[in-house]
Copies of this chain bind each other. A is one copy, B any other.
């Protein structure tokens, strides 16, 4: 028996899947979360000076492609975590929205030395560093019972160079 999930659970899950697809650099999995003609706008928020539009992605193909153009591929022993926080959820019939804080962490493992780890080595070996932060604003629409992303703003706190 599959339990019926709340709308809030369903749209939160899309945000979770967004983070997984971004960290796997999986453009196809990412594009499936969006409507076919969805729009992603990437901004830099310059505090009191307002927002600067850095770029726009329109439609599934461009969104999928961004995984290989706008994000650097993981280096050897590298990974990332796009993480989201403190969601603000709004639901109105077949439309919904979530605003999150986000931080992206860059992860790079230390290669195991040829002679093995030195005596006394303990714990995780590598560097984990927050490299991006800001806000995501998602709007969702439900069509034929399936929620998908209709529009997304990615609002960076700090200058972002493509």
Do B72 and A101 touch across chains, with their CB atoms under 8 A apart? no
Contact (A107, B161) CB under 8 Å given A86-B84, A132-B124: no
Cα distance A133–B141 in the bound complex, in angstroms: 33
Do A130 and B131 touch across chains, with their CB atoms under 8 A apart? no
Task: Say which residue of B92, B125, B128 sits within 8 Å of A161 (CB atoms).
Answer: B125
| Closest residue on chain B to residue A106 by CB atoms | B123
Q: How many copies does the complex hold?
A: 3
Do B8 and A5 touch across chains, with their CB atoms under 8 A apart? yes
Do B81 and A83 touch across chains, with their CB atoms under 8 A apart? no
With an 8 Å Cβ cutoff, the count of chain A residues facing the other chain is 65
Chain B residues in 8 Å Cβ range of A103: 81, 83, 105, 128
Task: Say which residue of B89, B110, B112, B159 sits within 8 Å of A124 (CB atoms).
Answer: B159
Cα distance A126–B89 in the bound complex, in angstroms: 29
Residues of A within 8 A of B (CB): 1-3, 5-9, 12-13, 15-17, 19-20, 23, 45-47, 72, 74, 76-79, 81, 83-89, 91-93, 101, 103-105, 107-110, 112, 117, 121-126, 128-133, 156-162
